Structure 1
Amino acid sequence: MSRPFFYISLAVNKLHGNLPPNLGLVLPSLETFLVGGNKLSGPFPVSITNASRLVRFDIAYNSLTGPVPLNLGILGHLDTLNFGQNQLGNTIPNDLSFLNSLVNCTGLRLLQLTNNGFGGVLPDSVANLSKRLTFFRADDNYITGSIPQEIGNLARLEYLAFHDNMLGSSIPQSIGKLSNLQGLYLYTNSISGEIPSSISNITQLSILALAENMLEGSIPIALVNCTKLQGLDLQLNHLTGVIPEQIFKLPSLNIAIFLNGNHLSGQLSSQVGNLINLGKLGVSENKLSGEIPAALGDCPVLEFLYMQNNLFEGTIPSSLQWLKGIQVMDLSQNNLSGHIPQFLGTLPLVRFLNLSHNRFEGEVPTEGVVFSNVSAFSIVGNTKLCGGIQALKLPACPKEAPGTRRSNFPLRMVPLIILPVVLLLACLSITLYRLRRSKQQTSSPPVLPVHYPRFTYSDLFQATDGFSSTNLIGDGRYGSVYKGVLDSSGQTIAVKVLKLQEHGANQSFMTECNALGKLRHRNIVKIITSCSSTDLQRNDFKALVFDFMPNGSLDSWLHTTRVEEQDSRNLNLVQRLNIAIDVATALEYLHYHCDIPVIHCDLKPSNILLDGQLCAHVGDFGIARFLLASTDSLSRTQSNSIGIRGTVGYVAPEYGMGEGVSTQGDIYSYGIFLLETFTGKEPPGSMFVDNFSLRNYVETAFPDRVMEIVDPRMRWKGKENSKQTKEDEVDITKAELCLASILKIGIRCCAELPRERMNVRDAAVELQRIRKVFLGIGRKQVVTFH
């Protein structure tokens, strides 16, 4: 008779106290032990080494203390080892000696030691860990010494993080052997030497974060081989030389380039204009000179521009007026001169403009949101400025004195000269305007890859009958959605036309294209193509084209106000449960199965679309974010610029306190969506005021009075199976148990604290189990509520 095995998953609860010291003795056949996200304390259970069949061991996000046993390597079947976010280690030289024994764990794929008290050096044996290792984090500790020279032996690594330690020496050349690496995080250490040119061999690299070290030499030109690079952070080092213009030819760079606080010199190349999707650029506190390149105006989605404390000179180029997404622009402490351009006041999203300590002169503009708010801009240290709003207390600008000399030129000749000049200037202006518009239309690269079909404004105009109101099927903050039929194929489509006059609409368009162009899942709305053109009045026009969803949004089913639809647009229990599982499956894909995890940021019923079979598809990725690593410097900068993201009632409470986006934020929204789907109550409804929320409403009735709070329109009809027809009534007790189980998951998902929320993988598995029990599929199980 085979020995039993054990699977224990108690993650993300409120467990406290010590782990049993004899854990491995009483459970020698234990294979999976998941207790992360609790309040456990006490010493590491050394007896775990007796559980010889252990595969997954996750005790992250607790408060365990003390050393880790040195003989963990006898657990030869280990696949996952996660000690992150505890108080393990004693910050002494031999804290990491247990890594020596792990070389015997040839199947190890994930090793996480993040945010503990491990001290001492990384043993050279790290380079001999499992050849299957794909994820290795040892950041936020007290590790000294150097990165092992043969780290390149870990050829399957996809994620390597040693940041926020005390590592020294240089980056080994063998790092270039990690050809599958997507994220390399070594920032905030004391690493010196040059950036090894071998990094250019890591062609899958997406994030390179080497900030706050002591790196010297120049930026390797060979980085141009990293054609998937999205974020480059080299700030606060000792780098010298010019910024290679080849770096600016990487179209993949769309998150950030941070080169601040080095000793870089020369001019900023006009090739920077190639980065049309770049969100942040930082070159401050260097020795850069020359003029600000006009090509910066070709970076339309740039949000943050830091160029302060350099040697830039000349005037602010007029092309910067096209930076419609800019939020912070810092040009202070340079040698810029001339007048402050009026167009800076018309940039719609600017929160802070710093022009201080330059050589600007003349009148300070007063028009626009920025120049009317003294706290939104700074011009100190420009001694030749005048005028502006009263709060600046600058001297009034001198009025032009009337002419004192009379010209001998015959006045009757003036019209004969002025008229041709005016006509010539008018012709030139029209020509330049047409050329500029033509350039914008013809040179703007497609937002989506070339294999997507191309539709013109005319195609979409005809498909929607001129964007007729009769074809309007949805209206949101950033866009209106129309139903259309393509003349060429007869395909029914949904066209989302962006409201470009709305602040953030252009950024929403780019974000949705970047996200949906990389996502492929049956429960995520499929994008057909995008269109970026001009309309009949030559105004900018942007649209997204999707598969048409004949059953509209889930919101329209849950909260229909039309009496004639109250019966026809009603979902029974199983249909709602199917939709909940579809959405959980989509979230699991976004969070765990994409190359870079995607955070939706606005999950709610109006963004969940239903096809002809009532299969759910998550849509509207207009404010979605790619998640790099929750603790890396690029993410910190990105997160700080986000603020509250999402819709009131669905947005996670930590977002309101300035925390960055996370998978747990999406889980909170999912929990609210789940409660709304089965109670029929909207979270921002009139009954939820002050501190009384939808979650409180459900909790007060849970578990004994759940039938009092569920949607009264919902019927207890199951799907057809061998034992019951579609019209048979399901036993009310069974339905009550099912609903209580579902609402319990919703309550856990939208817990106040992120660490107390349920994992979406577990939520999906649990919902699928509930569905099987409710429909009588498989072995009957007992549902309990504790």
Structure 2
Amino acid sequence: MEHSRTIRNLVLLKFLHGFFLLVLCMMSTFPESAAFPSSTLLGNESDRLALLDFKKRITEDPLSVMSSWNHSIHFCSWVGITCHRATQRVLILDLQDKQLVGSIPPSIGNLTRLIEISLGINKFHGEIPQELGRLRTLESLNLSFNSFGGKLPTNMSHCTQLRFLDLFSNKIIGSIPRQLSSWLSLTILKLARNNLSGTIPGWIGNFSSLRSLRLGGNNFQGSIPNELGHITTLQIFLVGENNLSGMLPSSIYNISSIYVFGVFMNQFHGELPPNLGILLPNLKEFYCDINNFTGNIPVSLSNASRLQVIDFATNDFTGTVPGEILSLSINRFGGEIPRSIANLSTQLKTIYLGGNLLHGSLPNGIGNLINLTVLLMSNNYLAGVVPEEIGKLEKIGQLYLHDNKFSGPIPSSLGNMTSLLELSMEKNNFQGSIPPSLGNCQNLLLLSLYNNNLTGSIPQKLMELSTLSISLDLSENYLTGPLPSNVGDLVHLTRLNVSNNKLSGEIPSTISSCTSLGGLYLDDNKFEGTIPHLEELDISSNNLSGQIPEFLGKLGALKYLNLSYNDFEGELPKEGIFSNVSSASVLGNHRLCGGIPQLHLPACHKNKHHSSGGPFPPKVVIPISCALAFIIALSCFFSARSMLKKSRDGLVTSCSYKDWKLGVSYSQLVESTNGLSVDNLIGSGSFGSVYKGVIPSDGTVVAVKVLNLQQQGASKSFNDECKALRSVRHRNLVKIITSCSSIDNHGRDFKSLVFEFMPNGSLDSWLHPRDEDQSPSKRLNFMQRLNIAIDVAYALDYLHNHCETSIVHCDLKPSNVLLDEDMVAHVGDFGLARFLLEASNDPSLSQTIYGILLLEMFTGKTPTDDMFIEGLSIYKFVAMALPDLVMDVVDPSLLLDLEADGSVKECLFAVMQIGLSCCAISPKERMLLNMVVGKMSAIKDSYLKVQEG
């Protein structure tokens, strides 16, 4: 028995020996990846589990990207996953721009064969896990445009194969760890727009393959290390918007490959080398504005043949203008503009020469620079005639020639500049008439010609510029004739100034169509007739007469009224604007009586009848009181007619909120708003008025926007707003309930939109409260403003980056930001919305309008404030104050917050920086909206941490 068992064991051993020999032979014919199937299977399972763990960390997935990550298909077929064909190990994890919200789990370190991770443009948060250091084969890591916080993980020093690192626009803090000096293979390093601090490490100079170094928008201090000059492959060098100081190291100029060089918004000083253009011949963009550089501008910059932008603005350069230069703004350069400026590259896009002591004339060859988009030569002593050939600059968007001594006619060739957005030629000696050809500039937002010697009438064609929205200023000239009757076509204009001219005739009634006007200045002319209804009205020093109607005192929107030096008579109202002696002026109207005691007018005699046989001047008089009586009579007639129609049609069926969402009739809207009563009027704006309405059946309060279809473009505005609101849904956008396109009781077209009602009104009423709102509760503290600013940023980011068709809200202002009962902001009024696929609009306009709003929110100044004259704007007002004088420009109503909490100052500075960045002249320098959201949220988090501590 024992013997047979031994024989069986020997046979078994021989069989196993033969089997293993066979296996070894077979393995020798297979590739290495198949030689150890057990390890491959283990690795596959480890990858699968790591990916499932990653999926668990995703808390929001609006595009349902992760739905494919399930057990029904192999993980190598999941969205965003690329595997090695033979080993089935994960090589690439790419979920960029998928609107994902979540965090990265430590288990990502188990994907040990990864060579690329791309999670940019999402909403990931939390810290970058140290376990990334286990990915020894990782070559590319892109986590840009997220909200990652914490410090840079030191364990990533083991990722020695890393070539591409992009952490742009996150919330990473701390210094750059010394351990990361092992990244000797890096070609791209993007750490801009974070909260990094400390100094720029000199060992970065050992990255001999580095092509792009972007460290801007952080809190780095100290100087630029001399060792960076060793990176002879560097092409992009951007360290702007930090707290760096000292002199630029001479070694940096040895990198002849650099074509983008940016050290703007720091505290650098010293001189630039005179042969800068020879040392850096490949320069395409050069930014050193807002520093403390001294000395002369390098004459050799013309050697940089690729140069498109150069900016030395806001430095302390002194001396004369040497040779061929491009930008010397806000310095003390003298002499003439060199004739050779016409020989610069036709690829040049911007020229800044403003704020110097330049004299002489504008060079004739300026028209050769056909790709210019910005030409700024304001605030100098330039004289002579502006050459007609300037009209060759058809791509120019901003032309600033103001505050000089130019003379002769305004070139009619300016009408060729069809891309022109802003034209500023005020405070010169221009003569002759305003060229009608300016009406061809169909994209113009601002036109300023005030304080010249212009004569003749205002061209009718100028009033056809429906895009004019910022300002039209023709004041302080010698213009004659009437104000064109088609002035009502300027439906988006916020400021119109024609004061101090010789204009005559009646003020056109069509001016009431300019519903966006915040300021109208008609003083010191020879106007006659009646008064239009506006928010800010200055019609002093004219020949207006008759009684002042009481309804002016009931216009809650009116903030300032100047009726001085006319010939008004009768009793002065005491309500509204007339109750505040500082808000209304009636000087020089000697036949007025009554009013508040502070005005010291004579008492009125109740039985006195005013007669036209009195000492009236020899002119046509249209008594305002008669016109008002006629309007009231008409209103009564139409109201009675409406009531009669209602009685004939029977009672209007009461519908619930749910029913209204399916559609609403004209009669139902009239009933809900008490007959569109003035008492229900809660605001007015572009193309219409907004009324408070109540759905009779359930008491739901709504806002009813009624379009003024007599106004040109109102129907298009209605269609645009419907189109925009139909396709968008976001918590920070005003929600539309329904719309109504019908016929009113007079047989006229009627269009209306119904929205959710916002109990706390508009942001404008909180930022700029009227007299009746001067209660302590009607004030926004710092945290409230910050939350509102973040809400608006989220809304704009959604419209621009996350809609099927990107939408630019072209009319963002405090009156179009509404606040619900919890003070959450909702952006509304899409009548001027533009769809980027339908028009060649500048997508960076969203950043600009947000930046202006942000500055207004924290300074308390409107962009049209009276203080912003002679070239000063809200942008310059803030820019000149930063960083040391930020407290001098803050809204005074925030001072209590500031005294109680010193941490607010630092946050205020950061907010103001974002506002300025959004308004940068160059569109490519404007902070992206998703970056704005991240930065503003980081400021809020920082502030709350301080409060909690």
TM bracket (short chain): 0.5 to 0.7
- Matched ranges for 1:384-463 at <5 A: 384-400=591-607, 430=634, 460-461=663-664
- Matched ranges for 1:494-509 at <5 A: 497-498=703-704
Q: Quote the Cα distance in structure 2 between the aligned partners of 1:401 and 1:689.
A: 55
Q: Which residue of 2 aligns with 1:316?
A: 530
Partner deviation per Cα, 1:507-530 (whole Å, 9 max, x = no partner): x99999999999999999799999
- Matched ranges for 1:76-225 at <5 A: 76-89=281-294, 95-96=296-297, 98=298, 101-116=300-315, 117-120=331-334, 121-225=336-440
* Displacement after TM superposition at 1:363 (Å): 1.9
Q: Quote the Cα distance in structure 2 between the aligned partners of 1:79 and 1:481.
A: 56
TM-score (ref. length: structure 1): 0.58
Q: Which residue of 1 aligns with 2:589?
A: 382
Q: Which residue of 2 aligns with 1:348?
A: 556
Q: Which residue of 1 aligns with 2:686?
A: none
Q: Quote the Cα distance in structure 2 between the aligned partners of 1:748 and 1:401.
A: 63
- Matched ranges for 1:615-694 at <5 A: 620=828, 652=858
Compared with structure 1, are the counterparts of its residues 401 and 753 closer, same or farther at alpha carbon in structure 2 (3 Å cutoff)? closer
* Displacement after TM superposition at 1:753 (Å): 4.9
Q: Quote the Cα distance in structure 2 between the aligned partners of 1:427 and 1:329.
A: 21
Q: Which residue of 2 aligns with 1:38?
A: 242
* Displacement after TM superposition at 1:224 (Å): 1.6
Q: Secondary structure at the match of 1:398?
A: coil
Aligned AA for 2:217? Answer: V
Q: Quote the Cα distance in structure 1 between the aligned partners of 2:248 and 2:454.
A: 43
Q: Quote the Cα distance in structure 2 between the aligned partners of 1:192 and 1:690.
A: 49
* Displacement after TM superposition at 1:152 (Å): 1.8
Q: Which residue of 2 aligns with 1:361?
A: 569
Q: Secondary structure at the match of 1:754?
A: helix
Q: 2:793–2:929: 8 Å Cα contact kept in structure 1?
A: no
* Displacement after TM superposition at 1:532 (Å): 8.7
Aligned AA for 1:203? Answer: T
Give the counterpart of 2:509 among 266, 291, 294. 294
Aligned AA for 1:151? Answer: I
Q: Which residue of 2 aligns with 1:411?
A: none
Q: 2:521–2:537: 8 Å Cα contact kept in structure 1?
A: yes
Q: 1:513–1:530: 8 Å Cα contact kept in structure 2?
A: no
* Displacement after TM superposition at 1:167 (Å): 2.7
Q: Secondary structure at the match of 1:271?
A: helix
Matched length: 565
Compared with structure 1, are the counterparts of its residues 391 and 664 closer, same or farther at alpha carbon in structure 2 (3 Å cutoff)? closer
Q: 2:478–2:501: 8 Å Cα contact kept in structure 1?
A: yes
Aligned AA for 2:445? Answer: Q
Partner deviation per Cα, 1:271-321 (whole Å, 9 max, x = no partner): 212222222110011122223222322322221110111222x3324xx2x
Aligned AA for 1:385? Answer: L
Partner deviation per Cα, 1:216-256 (whole Å, 9 max, x = no partner): 22111111211222221111112122111221122222332
Compared with structure 1, are the counterparts of its residues 150 and 599 closer, same or farther at alpha carbon in structure 2 (3 Å cutoff)? farther
Partner deviation per Cα, 1:383-409 (whole Å, 9 max, x = no partner): 222111222111112333699xxxxxx
Aligned AA for 2:561? Answer: L
* Displacement after TM superposition at 1:330 (Å): 0.8
Q: Which residue of 1 aligns with 2:214?
A: 9
Compared with structure 1, are the counterparts of its residues 141 and 26 closer, same or farther at alpha carbon in structure 2 (3 Å cutoff)? farther
* Displacement after TM superposition at 1:184 (Å): 1.4
* Displacement after TM superposition at 1:180 (Å): 1.4
Give the counterpart of 2:452 among 215, 229, 237. 237
Q: Quote the Cα distance in structure 1 between the aligned partners of 2:309 and 2:585.
A: 49
Q: Which residue of 1 aligns with 2:489?
A: 274
Partner deviation per Cα, 1:349-386 (whole Å, 9 max, x = no partner): 111111112222222122x3111211110011122221
Say yes or no: does 1:263 pair with 2:488: no
Compared with structure 1, are the counterparts of its residues 219 and 583 closer, same or farther at alpha carbon in structure 2 (3 Å cutoff)? closer
Q: 1:258–1:282: 8 Å Cα contact kept in structure 2?
A: yes
Structure 1: runs of 5 or more not aligned: 404-424, 439-456, 470-476, 483-494, 502-507, 547-578, 608-616, 630-634, 646-650, 666-687, 700-746, 769-786
Q: Quote the Cα distance in structure 2 between the aligned partners of 1:127 and 1:596.
A: 38
- Matched ranges for 1:589-628 at <5 A: 620=828
Give the counterpart of 2:276 among 72, 84, 89. 72
Cα RMSD of the aligned pairs, angstroms, is 5.8
Q: Which residue of 2 aligns with 1:52?
A: 256
* Displacement after TM superposition at 1:178 (Å): 1.2
Q: 2:725–2:830: 8 Å Cα contact kept in structure 1?
A: no
Q: Which residue of 1 aligns with 2:613?
A: none
Q: 2:875–2:916: 8 Å Cα contact kept in structure 1?
A: no
Compared with structure 1, are the counterparts of its residues 597 and 185 closer, same or farther at alpha carbon in structure 2 (3 Å cutoff)? farther
Q: Quote the Cα distance in structure 1 between the aligned partners of 2:579 and 2:933.
A: 54
Q: Quote the Cα distance in structure 1 between the aligned partners of 2:811 and 2:255.
A: 36
Q: 1:748–1:756: 8 Å Cα contact kept in structure 2?
A: no
- Matched ranges for 1:530-569 at <5 A: 543=752
Q: Secondary structure at the match of 2:472?
A: strand
Compared with structure 1, are the counterparts of its residues 103 and 588 closer, same or farther at alpha carbon in structure 2 (3 Å cutoff)? farther
Q: 1:530–1:542: 8 Å Cα contact kept in structure 2?
A: no
Q: 1:253–1:275: 8 Å Cα contact kept in structure 2?
A: yes
Aligned AA for 2:467? Answer: S
Give the counterpart of 1:336 among 541, 544, 563. 544
Compared with structure 1, are the counterparts of its residues 339 and 527 closer, same or farther at alpha carbon in structure 2 (3 Å cutoff)? same
Q: Secondary structure at the match of 2:383?
A: coil
* Displacement after TM superposition at 1:643 (Å): 10
Aligned AA for 2:374? Answer: Y
Partner deviation per Cα, 1:469-518 (whole Å, 9 max, x = no partner): 9xxxxxxx978999xxxxxxxxxxxx9944679xxxxxx99999999999
Q: Quote the Cα distance in structure 1 between the aligned partners of 2:556 and 2:631.
A: 30
* Displacement after TM superposition at 1:196 (Å): 0.7
Aligned AA for 1:112? Answer: D
Compared with structure 1, are the counterparts of its residues 122 and 61 closer, same or farther at alpha carbon in structure 2 (3 Å cutoff)? farther
Q: Quote the Cα distance in structure 2 between the aligned partners of 1:107 and 1:533.
A: 56
Compared with structure 1, are the counterparts of its residues 542 and 371 closer, same or farther at alpha carbon in structure 2 (3 Å cutoff)? farther
Look at both structures and tell me which one has the larger radius of gyration over its CA atoms. Answer: 2
Q: 2:378–2:404: 8 Å Cα contact kept in structure 1?
A: yes
Partner deviation per Cα, 1:642-683 (whole Å, 9 max, x = no partner): 8985xxxxx546769989777999xxxxxxxxxxxxxxxxxx
Q: Secondary structure at the match of 2:241?
A: coil
Q: Quote the Cα distance in structure 1 between the aligned partners of 2:538 and 2:345.
A: 47
Aligned AA for 1:352? Answer: Y
Say yes or no: does 1:754 pair with 2:913: yes
Q: Quote the Cα distance in structure 2 between the aligned partners of 1:297 and 1:766.
A: 37
Q: 2:809–2:833: 8 Å Cα contact kept in structure 1?
A: no
* Displacement after TM superposition at 1:202 (Å): 0.8
Structure 2: runs of 5 or more not aligned: 1-184, 188-207, 316-330, 611-628, 643-659, 673-681, 684-689, 694-700, 708-713, 756-791, 835-840, 843-847, 879-895, 919-925, 935-949
* Displacement after TM superposition at 1:145 (Å): 3.4
Compared with structure 1, are the counterparts of its residues 113 and 163 closer, same or farther at alpha carbon in structure 2 (3 Å cutoff)? farther
Structure with greater contact order relative to length (CA < 8 Å, sep ≥ 6)? 1
Q: Quote the Cα distance in structure 2 between the aligned partners of 1:533 and 1:520.
A: 15
Q: 2:266–2:290: 8 Å Cα contact kept in structure 1?
A: yes
Compared with structure 1, are the counterparts of its residues 392 and 749 closer, same or farther at alpha carbon in structure 2 (3 Å cutoff)? closer
